[in-house]
């Protein structure tokens, strides 16, 4: 069963790489991602709203999911330089689709310089992660954690965070001796 799942995922990833399937899927299936990427007013409003809630200095662990991973990548280009991103977690991410990463503010699949560590968790049966693993496309990409989420809950953030290898990385970053809580 695992071999079949991997073969289907690999086949769909190949289709996304060699056709316009990813752009069509984003428009048809991932309406929220399309709205964010296609409408500059939506993008600016989302980024401004999130930036108002983030610290202006200190260390930060940034955990993102689904469309939030796209927002997080754009957000990293606008964070105050005094903010140090200790860990970026992307879970259930569409960042492997060229129709997504080509439209990021950074302009492509480039690991953000300001991120000390990056962990990408993806599930082969999560349709949003069709372009994963990201290391195939992203220069100096993330550490990858393929996980097995429950059928019917393959895209749920609770499923991703329940995996020890994901939770442990977050815990290590938050509990490191150099950690100080960020100030807004």
> Is residue 39, in this structure, part of any structural domain at all?
yes
Q: Which residues touch 76 (CB under 8 Å, ≥6 apart)?
A: 62, 85, 88, 106, 112, 114, 115
The per-residue pLDDT for 183 is 44
Give the number of domains in the chain.
1
* 9-35 residue pLDDT tens: 555 555 555 555 555 554 445 678 888
Note down the domain range covering 117: 2-175
Residue 181, domain member (yes or no): no
150 touches 125 (CB < 8 A) = no
Contact 102/77 with Cβ under 8 angstroms? no
Total Cβ atoms within 10 A of residue 164 = 9
On whether residue 184 sits in a domain, the answer given is no
**110 in a structural domain:** yes
Residue 93 maps to which CATH number? 3.40.50
Query: For the segment 60-84, what is each residue's pLDDT rounded down to a tens digit?
Result: 999 999 999 999 999 999 999 999 9
Alpha carbon distance 151, 126 (integer Å) = 9
Six token digits for residue 134:
């990201």
pLDDT in tens, 113-122: 899 999 999 9
Task: List 119's β-bridge partners, or say none.
Answer: 89, 143
Asked if residue 97 is part of any domain, the answer here is yes
Does a cis peptide bond (omega within 30 degrees of 0) precede residue 133?
A: yes
For 158, residues 6+ apart whose C-beta sits below 8 A from its C-beta are none
**What are the strands, taking DSSP E only, across the chain?**
58-65, 83-91, 115-122, 143-146
| Residue 180 is assigned to a structural domain of this protein | no
Mean pLDDT of all residues in 104-119: 93
Residue 182 domain flag = no
pTM (whole model) above 0.85: no
Pairwise CA distance, residues 56 & 177, whole Å: 21
Q: Is residue 91 part of a domain?
A: yes
């Amino acid at each position: 069963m695992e071999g079949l799942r991997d073969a289907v995922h690999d086949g769909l990833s190949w289709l996304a790489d060699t056709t316009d399937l990813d752009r069509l899927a984003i428009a048809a299936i991932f309406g929220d991602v399309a709205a964010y990427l296609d409408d500059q007013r939506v993008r600016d409003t989302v980024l401004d709203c999130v930036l108002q809630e983030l610290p202006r200095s200190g260390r930060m662990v940034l955990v993102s999911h689904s469309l939030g991973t796209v927002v997080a990548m754009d957000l990293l280009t606008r964070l105050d330089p005094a903010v140090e991103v200790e860990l970026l977690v992307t879970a259930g991410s569409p960042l492997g689709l060229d129709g997504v990463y080509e439209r990021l503010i950074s302009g492509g699949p480039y690991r953000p310089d300001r991120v000390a560590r990056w962990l990408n968790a993806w599930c082969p049966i999560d349709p949003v992660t069709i372009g994963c693993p990201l290391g195939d496309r992203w220069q100096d990409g993330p550490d990858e954690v393929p996980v097995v989420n429950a059928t019917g809950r393959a895209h749920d953030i609770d499923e991703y965070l329940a995996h020890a290898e994901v939770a442990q990385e977050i815990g290590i970053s938050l509990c490191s001796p150099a950690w100080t809580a960020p100030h807004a």
